[in-house]
Structure 1
Amino acid sequence: MMVGEMTSPPTGLPPRRTTDTALAAVRSVTGSVPAAVTVTAVVVTRGRSPYLEATLAAVRGQSLAPHSVVVVDVDTAPSTSGHRGLSLDGARYVAASHSRSFGDAVNAAVAGLSAAGDALTPDWLWLLHDDSAPAPGALAALLRSVEHTSTVAVAGCKQRKWELDDDGTPHDPAGPDRGVLLQVGYTVSPTGRRMSGLDETEIDQGQHDSREDVLAVGLAGALVRTSVWRDLDGTDAEYGPFGDSLEFCRRVRLAGHRVTVVPTAVVRHAQQSLADPSHRSRMRRARLRFQLVAASPWALGLTMLAIVAGAPFLAAYRLAVKQPTAARDELMAPLWMLLGLSSVLRARRRTARTSTEPYRVLRPLLGTWRQTFRELRERRLARADARHTGPDDLDRADLHRIATRRRAVLALVMVVATGLAAAVFGPVLGMLAAGGRLVGGALLPASSDAGQVWTAATSGWVRSGLGEAAPGDPLLLTLTALSLLTGDSLQTAVNALFVAALPLAALGGWAVAGAVTRSVWVRAVAALAWTAAPPLLGALSGGLVGALVVHLALPWVALALVRSVGAQRIDLPARSSVDAVNDRPVLNGAFVEEGRGRRLGAAGAAGLTLAVAVSGAPVLLPIAVVVLAAAAFAAPARRGHLAPAILPSLVMCAPLLIHMVRTGDAGLLVADPLVLPGTLPAGDAAGWQALLGQTGLQDPWFGGLSPDMALGPYLLGGLLCAVALVALAGPRAAGARVGWILAVCGLAVVVLADGGSGSLGARGLDALGLDGGALDGRGSGTALTSVVLLGLGGAALCTTRAVRARRAARTVAVAGVVVPLVIGLVSAAGLASWYVAEPLSDDGVHATALPAVPAVGQQMQAAPRQTRVLQLGSGDDGAVEYALLRGDGTQLADASVAASARGQVTGTTEAGTDGPAAHETGAGSPATAARDAVDDVAVRLAGGSDPDVAERLAALGIGAVQVPTPDVSDDAADGSGRAVGNAELTASLDMVPGVERVTQGQPVTLWRVRTEQNPTPGWARIEDGRSVTLVASGGPSVHVDVAAGDAGRRVVLAESADPRWSATLDGHRLEPVEVATAGATLQAFELGPDGGRLDIGYHAPHRTGWLLALGLVGAVFVLLALPVRGRRSR
């Protein structure tokens, strides 16, 4: 039946005349109301399409066929009519490669009809995409809905999903399907987001067939009045494939027409435009444009402001739900708005020209905030239902049994580790809770708050000694975060880190082992072995904060990387698959399989945890690059998640890397962070020792009770090495190879860092233009040994692939039980030996409540004076040892590998020598002059008779001098002679003019520096040639109001001069000068006679840019790592 057969009441004309002449006759008789209507179907395609032939067949198969069919090809490929196997059957073909949108293609079809000389213009246009096949009665239902009304200008179809066969062939549009609904008309939320009122996989059961008047319908399958299409000039081409239907239907409504949906007219839509990788960006642009075009005139400015202000928050939300591309689009939205503003204004003017109704006519059809929230909630619940498939009772029992066993064994592991930690640190917990601290070995006092640690990490100025321009250690950034988590105290953070290290190591070992094996007992052994690892025990006893952080972070790095590529193993109930008995491995009665949960959140967590590990040992950065590249080849999927994981580490270490390149000092990478020179032994582990899990020559177990105990420390590493070698020939050799690559990289760096200037590693670095001799004695041997053990342990765990049911050889089964048992026993023996050796001792880390500087000295060091305290002492060889103290002892936050490389932190001078000690680096620089000045002052104080020494101390900002109180019993105990030397220093200081003793009978004897010209030395002072005035300061900066004074005044800082110091007075820049005093070159500024607000600070180059990059990268990865379930695309 042709369209012309659908008529108004009888008019006397033959009922079946469907020619153009007959239609013209009908119109001449009936006037403006036609007795018959004509429909032209317009099918828009893009070149060769697998759906076009089926779509044309569906159009030809209509129970009420259209008058004509036009196929519009918007591609530049050969014409559609020339495609093999495609029969247009008289359908007109129009090439429209210039079309930018669906609307442009329809306009080309309408123009083609006129150009072809059609006698009559069709009354209706039936618009179809090449991937939208109508059901046989779709056109008839559409025409019935508009037959007796002249107000409807657009009638849309109910859209269902067009499904495909397994081979990609589209289903027969006339055949049965699941009936998944895509659209039954739609509206928009107050923010311009489309609201269809449907769940993502809702099945059509007629529940929405009562809909009629709607705000908009999809144009695929829509019937549009030709006159209205022409009056409105079609759709807005700027929308592209998304949002054009909404914009057009909105203008139709404002022009005084109706938009309806006809649920009985069904079209199956494949939505191929969503297959475009850029479809999300284009959808976001379309929604942004609609927001601006649809906003009322008085709300347009507020809408634009909301788009700009809301962009970062929307981007953060998109990152949290693991949609980084959408986050980028949200950040680009303000730019798109500005670039497209002129086009938006043109669209608003076009809408205003064709509008005959006010905006309020749309209000009943728009979605409300309540409807928006209800739809979001319903979609969230629907997604939750789709994720959770309800297991039957047997499966639920299996899962419950597996979880119960896993939790019980984990609880046992944590109880053992916590008990060991309580046995080691329990006796000192009371002292630590009362304000005591852990010090000793390489661990320095940490009496700083989080703000001071952050300043030390990011300012680019190291405050030890008289200060020096050098990057802070990246580990300070990690300690800043820990300080914030522990009450804004670095000392509390350090104490908590050491006390909780053993349980945290056990938890990390358990977690990372679970990514490789689901055997709870193998995971327990792995947790015990990682807790008993010699690098961890050595870091705890030796006070190596960096090595400790590395050992605790590495398991989480490995776990996150494995999860990011979907290679982790997961538990499954035994009845999860019919094929489980034959095809799946069995372990502990439950079946397991390789996980495929490729989560972007795991990649974010990997980046953060890797940055923490690299901060503890920057040498891990090149190792991480190599291992990530190797892991990308072994990853089953999502290899792209591995590359971004290195970005936070690169940004965190950027200042140190730049400094290393500028100085050519390769030792900066391998040096232990926050460790003073001379604290550690001169050498690290040799390659064979690191391969066996040791950081150097170890004492025998249990004090050498028997000769065999000498081999005890090497048993754990030897066993892991042997099992890891076996794994290379096993079924999971790919994972074992990655583990070996990690271990070999760690060994290679150990070899490079071992030895002096003539070593193999030094010669190789010299060939690259770096200072290879600087490696001697500075290698992060403890942290690198943790890397080696992680690689060997991961490879060894790859041998634990579950034995298939009833197929395992007896030898393999026995080995699977014996080897973990032996490793567990060896680990337990190592822990017992370490505990018996008293890990907390005066020679290593120990707890103390005694201050390193008496209270009066700490009062001088506090703001606003901030004077330094010079500590003198006698060494074992009679030399005078000194250190400039800024707090309660040499501070952890003031240690820097870059500054230590220049010999800044400490100095040693023989008492009675003629001049200062020589320094190898930085000769002639202000920092070198400052160190030489402190050397000279120490020598003069040891002499005890220099009348100018007090003035020199005051000029350098030193307000007090202290010496440990002599104790003859110490000499009797160790035979060092330190007490005798300290007694001689005490006698000498009592004779120095301008230095007066203020304490005695305490562990430390302190003298105050007081001179006639400068009775209260301080960090900042104003000098006018006659007097000295103290300037209040806080940290390495000054922010204070100063009064007017004489001309020629200067502000002098007790810091070595550097061109990056700056000062302003009421915003006006002060001229920097260098002041030579007491043999040092100090920073100063010309103040002049004026008063006002004085601001002084140090500004490192590129600090602002680095902090912005650090904050941006950190925020992105934190949002990605948040445990928020990602949203699935439809």
Structure 2
Amino acid sequence: MSVHSQSAAQAASYEAAAPQFPRHVVTAVIVSHDGARWLPDALSGLLGQERPVQNVIGADTGSADDSARLLTEALGDERVLHLARRSGFGTAVDEAVRAAPVLTPDDLPYLKRPSGWDPVTRTWHDEAYDMPELPHGEPVQWLWLLHDDCAPAPDALAELLRVADASPSTAVIGPKLRSWYDRRQLLEAGVSIARSGRRWTGLDRREQDQGQHDQVRAVLSVSTAGMLIRRDVYEQLGGFDRRLPLMRDDVDLCWRAQAAGHQVLIAPDAVLRHAEAASRERRPIDCVGRSVAGPHRVDKAGAVYTLLVNARGAVLPYVLLRLVLGTFLRVLAYLVGKVPGQALDELAGLFGVLLRPGRIMAARRRRGKPAVEASELRPLFPPPGATVRATVEQVASNFAGRAAPDASAGGRHGAVESGPGDDDADFLEVEQFARLKRMARRPAPVLFAVLLLVSLIACRGLLGGGALTGGALLPAPGEVSDLWARYFHGWHDVGIGSTASAPPYLAVVALVATVCFGSTGFAVTLLLVASVPLAGLTAYFASRPLVTSRLLRAWASVAYAFLPAATGALAGGRIGTAVLAILLPLMARAAIAASGLRLAPGVRPSFRAAWAYALLLTFTTAFTPVVWPIAVLLGLGLLVLRFLDGNRDKIVAYLLRFLAVVVSPMVVLAPWSLSLLTEPSRFFLEAGLASKPGQASWLDLLGFSPGGPKAYGSVLLLGVVLAALGALLRDERQRAVRTAWVASLVGLLFAGLANGSGWAGPPALVYGLALLCAAAIGAEGIRTRMMALGFGWKQPVAVLIALAAALAPLWAAVGWMIGGAAGPVERRNPEQVPAFVAEESGSADRPRTLVLDGDAGHVAYSLVRGSGARLGDADIAAEAGEDSRLNDVVAHLVAGSGADQTDRLGGYAVRYVLVKDGAPREMGRILDATPGLTRMSQEDGSALWRVDRRVSRVAIVSGSGGGTAAEPVAVAADPVDAHTKVPAGPGGRVLRIADAADEGWQATLDGKPLKPVTVDGWAQGFELPASGGRLDLTHESPLTHTLWMTAQGLLAVVLVVMALPGRRRDVDDDLPEEGLAAVPAQPVEGEGRRARRLRAAQEAQAAAAPEAAVPGARDGADPVADPYAAAAQQADPYAAQADPYAPAGHDPQYAADPYAADPYAAGQGVPQQAVPGMPQQQPYQDWQGASQPDPYGAAQYGQQYPPAYQADPYAQHYGGAYDPYGYGQQQPYGDGTAYDGMPHEGAADGTTHDGSYREPRRDGSDQQ
């Protein structure tokens, strides 16, 4: 017996009125699982349909709450199935369909021809017999699938059947889904699946429903929440796949329907609210496995299974490959984002399907060959690159933060006007002026633009062709692969060769060059030329917790950017100091956060701040190692301060954070960092060539100048020092001022130490930044403090100090622009030897050049390969140390002693000797007199000599003669390896390589390994047999080096992950923005922006708690925010439109439990009014909760005379709270014809002028 069926006896007593779309017979199936929270609304929406269903079956899958009881009370015990708790949604639907009978015209008399007998007039009407037996046509059986957490609008079923009636070939129709809480937020309007497995809705996050998707169109799939599917199609497809107990079962079913030749449409006028309880973790998932599974894992497994069993055979390998690669990329992204649980879910979901290939093959056999071509379904899938663009937009929005409401409300689907009208012109002018005011309030972009302009003007001589070189900077290699090779290879062809560790800053520069599309020259130019504006920008952002005045922050940032150490680093080619200038403000802010100096006593700082500090310290140590001992000394001072302050119970926590900070750089940068510990003087070196010591006096260091080109200080900078001294006189914030002064004194101390062995730029930056911080703190509020004092000498002195401090950066900027930034560093040809020498060095002999320089009392030399040294070679040479034998050769050469100098030079494969301009003239006269050297030319003041003998990097010499053999046989070689044929010769021969001996050298002759030997006490050699053959010479990096490099990369990734922000506390994503604000703030430790904001919100809530009590809150219970309260207060231009789904009001007594109130109960909303001219029978009384013994009164399904079949049963109206924004009979005036559709709807919803729907095409070509 159906909901609205009647017996034959009843049909004889009166004529049954046909419902709207009478030939469509609908059986509703509602499945519940721990859904008592949403089930009352779902049942009210189902039983309150304007076009009722003909039958309804409920299925409860072992709910632990009141869901089963609510279903039984609403539908009757005979209409509710009770299944096991592990039953999936598809299983429940299959059982419900099996239990639901197919209703025939015998069960629904209105489907048959009416009787000719009129019982009122007691007469016969012969015209009734002229009608066909089934006047409405053959009945079409439909299944309407509902979740317990979805509530359909009153006209949802009618709109679904309207589309079904207009499109007879349609098999599946779905509604438009909106959020349960934010009732204007779109969740789905049709759904598809990407090749990566992503569920694709084509909607923006939190996209609002403004009618932008209100077109009846073909889609790949619709959600099972509100899905209307033909019963014969459902049975033909075999129902849901039991391998998909939850999630992606809708896509699989609709995909199979599409493959079978059926059509799937979306009916946007049918609206359902959906809570998405399972996917948002509002209830457990018990139908997958023996334990509760997470929604991410279930969704991933469902996506993989759906793609593999439904994809065409031709694209199956591509789909599988993309699934595997995409999964591992997402796993890496989740690990970086500190979401290891979702990373494990990704792997478990993927391999949980792939490790069961038998299930996949069986499912593919059941589906068989598709009945439609793949090209017909292709438009229903996301276009290529759509998911990538969506991911990029999501990541960009996360970094950009929350946009302004006026900028983000429209989304990408917002309407665009062609232009402003006359009435809008004045408004737009005001809006543009407001935009300028907003830019003025955010001076960071303006500050960066001004600093960049000043830097470009000053660096005009450093832009153009050639390579940046000079000073401490060596030219960068031409290819980014050369940079990576210099860092990762175990053997470096520098000098006589070395296995020393490459400096870690090469990896950072290589990474920047990789981001810059492989341009190494642009990467170096960017780090140098943009160092000044980037330093000012980072200083501005880092100073936000320091002072609140934007003007003071801008001044301090500009002053920091134009410190002599920053401009001198650019002129001297000191890339290490330039990078430090960019990162030092961020590192200082992270250090303050990690130290907890700004936290209340007893509050521990967050470990993430310590890891962020460790990450920045690791980067800066790679370029300027001196910052590490500075950080260690300051950290030890902080530990002592914490111990003396009485925080002895927290000393262990601070000690752990201190160890994490100081140990991380040494571990990540090992083994290079270990040489710093064994030779502490190397801490005062930095990236590039070493500098001359003692370039600055103590007065220069006190004035922020480390000495060197373009690093001149100014008398005006003394104003900054005096301002920092004046900050010590301030009564408040003394801890911050004293901390800045301690850091400045430590920086000044290390500047003095570094000045004795090299350049003092890095510690001078620390000194200058700390004093600027102290000056900024002291200057904040100075006007108020000066006005509170009587006029005297203090005011003029303060004005003079402020004037000097303000003019100092301006004076430095003007002087820098006029004088230019070019100094020793310049842009020129990177070749350090004549062009023909560089060309000849690439020949098979691989000859080298000895470059001499120096003065009367000192000689400097370098052994050059190729066209000259490159970035990183000086650091590797310094790490390897000097070669005493080569020192002896050079000393004898410039002294003119001995006649065998050319033979000894040949042993090092030296073919040319170059004396640079500026060297003593006596050196040239000695070389002219040296036998075996011939002067070649003199160019740009440099002189060149050639060795008069055949030299080669790899040669065959006699065993007895060793390196002094008269006629060595040259062997063709590459820069490191050699692969060639050697001729046969006498026994006792030795293959000599003009590189330092090392265990990594390996040589084979026709595949047979050769015995290694050491030649001349330093060179690598191999014993050769008398026979010839193919020679293969290689250098293999030791296993320890490979392990170090691998561990270093993994530790760097771990350090980056630890420094990144963690995942925020989960909040219901579909809550409106006001609802999110209503979530109580939780106490969060740390110094981040979010931590401070949450602490402030918590304090505000605590202060407001005694003044306002939460209505309905019980003693000892936490008040629950009403999710509808915030939504009702939203000022929205769409709030006044007719909304059939407007939320009803809530009684204050239900504030503690927002789901205890019934929005459909009489009296909950607007007081009930009678509809004039309409009968007042109520076939379904208002839902009154589970305590109602007879929730539907006399309208029980099993009764003999259901009141639903009165003389005009569909002229009824449902009692209770009417909807003031409803349509037709829902409206307070009760005019059933009030809503007939707006005149313009014919073009908007796809109908023709006669009201029928056009038949959509499968390929979507009819959609505009």
Give the TM-score normalised by structure 1. 0.63
Q: What whole-Å deviation, never above 9, does each CA across 1:578-606 have from its counterpart, x for those lacking one?
A: xxxxxxxxxxxxxxxxxxxxxx9xx9999
Counterpart secondary structure, 1:360: coil
Residue equivalent to 2:501? 471
Residue equivalent to 2:1012? 1073
Corresponding position: 1:938 with 2:890: yes
Corresponding position: 1:533 with 2:563: yes
Structure 2 counterpart of 1:1075, which letter? T
Measure the CA separation in 2 of the matches of 1:84 and 1:751. 79
Counterpart secondary structure, 1:1053: strand
Change (3 A) 1:619 1:254: same
Residue equivalent to 1:383? 411
Corresponding position: 1:900 with 2:907: no
Residue equivalent to 2:179? 161
User: Which residue of 947, 954, 978 corresponds with 1:1009?
Assistant: 947
Residue equivalent to 1:583? none
Measure the CA separation in 1 of the matches of 2:867 and 2:204. 64
Change (3 A) 1:498 1:206: closer
Change (3 A) 1:130 1:690: farther
User: Which residue of 827, 846, 855 corresponds with 2:809?
Assistant: 827
Q: Is the contact made by 1:651 and 1:1110 (CA closer than 8 Å) also made in structure 2?
A: no
CA positional deviation for 1:1031: 3.1
Corresponding position: 1:400 with 2:340: no
Residue equivalent to 1:633? none
Residue equivalent to 2:84? 96
Measure the CA separation in 1 of the matches of 2:573 and 2:213. 70
Residue equivalent to 1:360? 372
CA positional deviation for 1:1076: 2.4
Measure the CA separation in 2 of the matches of 1:830 and 1:1101. 52
Structure 2 counterpart of 1:547, which letter? T
Corresponding position: 1:292 with 2:301: no
Q: Equivalent residues in 2 for 1:500-515 (5 A)?
A: none
CA positional deviation for 1:466: 1.7
CA positional deviation for 1:469: 0.9
User: Which residue of 946, 966, 970 corresponds with 1:1030?
Assistant: 970
Counterpart secondary structure, 1:3: coil
CA positional deviation for 1:801: 8.1
Counterpart secondary structure, 2:273: strand
Measure the CA separation in 1 of the matches of 2:801 and 2:203. 57
Counterpart secondary structure, 1:221: coil
Counterpart secondary structure, 2:431: helix
User: Which residue of 138, 149, 174 corresponds with 1:131?
Assistant: 149
CA positional deviation for 1:533: 0.8
User: Which residue of 865, 882, 906 corresponds with 2:845?
Assistant: 865
Change (3 A) 1:1031 1:501: farther
Q: Is the contact made by 1:1063 and 1:1096 (CA closer than 8 Å) also made in structure 2?
A: yes
Measure the CA separation in 1 of the matches of 2:711 and 2:157. 91
Residue equivalent to 1:275? 280
Q: Is the contact made by 1:131 and 1:269 (CA closer than 8 Å) also made in structure 2?
A: yes
Change (3 A) 1:403 1:222: closer
Residue equivalent to 2:470? 439
Measure the CA separation in 2 of the matches of 1:1097 and 1:1063. 9
Measure the CA separation in 1 of the matches of 2:529 and 2:161. 79
User: Which residue of 1023, 1034, 1056 corresponds with 1:1096?
Assistant: 1034
Q: What whole-Å deviation, never above 9, does each CA across 1:972-996 have from its counterpart, x for those lacking one?
A: xxxxxxx5xx63x666656655445
CA positional deviation for 1:867: 3.1
Residue equivalent to 2:1186? none
CA positional deviation for 1:132: 0.9
CA positional deviation for 1:662: 7.8
Measure the CA separation in 2 of the matches of 1:111 and 1:465. 85
Counterpart secondary structure, 1:241: coil
Q: Equivalent residues in 2 for 1:192-203 (5 A)?
A: none
CA positional deviation for 1:1056: 0.9
Q: Is the contact made by 2:568 and 2:708 (CA closer than 8 Å) also made in structure 1?
A: no
Q: As a proportion of its length, which structure holds more helix?
A: 1
Counterpart secondary structure, 2:998: coil
Q: What whole-Å deviation, never above 9, does each CA across 1:804-823 have from its counterpart, x for those lacking one?
A: 9x9997889x9999876442
Residue equivalent to 2:624? 617
Measure the CA separation in 1 of the matches of 2:415 and 2:619. 33
Measure the CA separation in 2 of the matches of 1:206 and 1:542. 62
CA positional deviation for 1:295: 2.0
Name the stretch that deviates more: 278-287 or 130-139: 278-287
Counterpart secondary structure, 1:900: helix
Measure the CA separation in 2 of the matches of 1:372 and 1:851. 47
Structure 1 counterpart of 2:1034, which letter? I
CA positional deviation for 1:108: 6.8
Q: Is the contact made by 1:242 and 1:286 (CA closer than 8 Å) also made in structure 2?
A: yes
User: Which residue of 719, 732, 756 corresponds with 2:723?
Assistant: 719
Residue equivalent to 1:1052? 992
CA positional deviation for 1:752: 7.8
Q: Is the contact made by 2:247 and 2:302 (CA closer than 8 Å) also made in structure 1?
A: yes
Residue equivalent to 1:729? 733
Q: Is the contact made by 1:53 and 1:87 (CA closer than 8 Å) also made in structure 2?
A: no
Q: What whole-Å deviation, never above 9, does each CA across 1:122-154 have from its counterpart, x for those lacking one?
A: x98654322112345656887999999999876
Structure 2 counterpart of 1:1060, which letter? G
CA positional deviation for 1:849: 9.3
Q: Greater RCO between the two (CA within 8 Å, min separation 6)?
A: 2
Structure 1 counterpart of 2:148, which letter? D
Structure 2 counterpart of 1:344, which letter? I
Change (3 A) 1:824 1:418: farther
Q: Is the contact made by 1:184 and 1:211 (CA closer than 8 Å) also made in structure 2?
A: no
Measure the CA separation in 1 of the matches of 2:439 and 2:588. 23
Paired positions, count: 934
Counterpart secondary structure, 2:223: coil
Change (3 A) 1:341 1:1110: farther
CA positional deviation for 1:244: 0.4
Counterpart secondary structure, 2:904: helix
CA positional deviation for 1:934: 1.4
Measure the CA separation in 1 of the matches of 2:702 and 2:72. 68
Counterpart secondary structure, 2:863: strand
Structure 2 counterpart of 1:867, which letter? P
Q: Equivalent residues in 2 for 1:642-1041 (5 A)?
A: 656-661=669-674, 664-665=677-678, 667=680, 670-675=683-688, 679-681=691-693, 693=704, 695=706, 714-717=718-721, 719=723, 729=733, 781-790=760-769, 793=772, 821-828=803-810, 861-871=841-851, 878=857, 882-886=861-865, 892-896=871-875, 900-901=878-879, 904-905=881-882, 931-941=883-893, 944-961=896-913, 979=920, 983=922, 992-998=930-936, 1003-1010=941-948, 1015-1023=949-957, 1025=959, 1027-1038=967-978
Change (3 A) 1:713 1:791: closer
Residue identity over aligned pairs, in percent, reads 27
Name the stretch that deviates more: 240-249 or 141-150: 141-150
CA positional deviation for 1:243: 1.3
Q: Which runs of 5+ in 1 are unaligned?
A: 18-33, 115-119, 165-176, 564-599, 631-645, 704-708, 756-774, 906-930, 968-978, 1122-1127
Counterpart secondary structure, 1:469: coil
Q: Is the contact made by 2:577 and 2:623 (CA closer than 8 Å) also made in structure 1?
A: yes
Change (3 A) 1:1028 1:213: closer
Q: State the superposition RMSD in angstroms.
A: 6.8
Counterpart secondary structure, 2:486: helix
Q: Is the contact made by 1:126 and 1:222 (CA closer than 8 Å) also made in structure 2?
A: yes
Measure the CA separation in 2 of the matches of 1:807 and 1:819. 15
Counterpart secondary structure, 1:657: coil
Q: Equivalent residues in 2 for 1:178-577 (5 A)?
A: 178=184, 180-183=185-188, 211=216, 216-222=221-227, 234-251=239-256, 266-276=271-281, 282-305=298-321, 307=323, 338-339=354-355, 341-352=357-368, 358-360=370-372, 367-368=379-380, 383-384=411-412, 393-400=429-436, 403=439, 439-440=470-471, 442-443=472-473, 452-479=482-509, 522=552, 525-540=555-570, 543-552=573-582, 554=584
Counterpart secondary structure, 1:1021: strand
Counterpart secondary structure, 2:955: strand
Q: Which runs of 5+ in 2 are unaligned?
A: 15-21, 102-106, 108-140, 283-293, 394-407, 418-423, 594-607, 639-658, 960-964, 1061-1067, 1071-1264
Residue equivalent to 1:3? 2
Q: What whole-Å deviation, never above 9, does each CA across 1:517-559 have from its counterpart, x for those lacking one?
A: 8988656634541243132244356553321332245568899
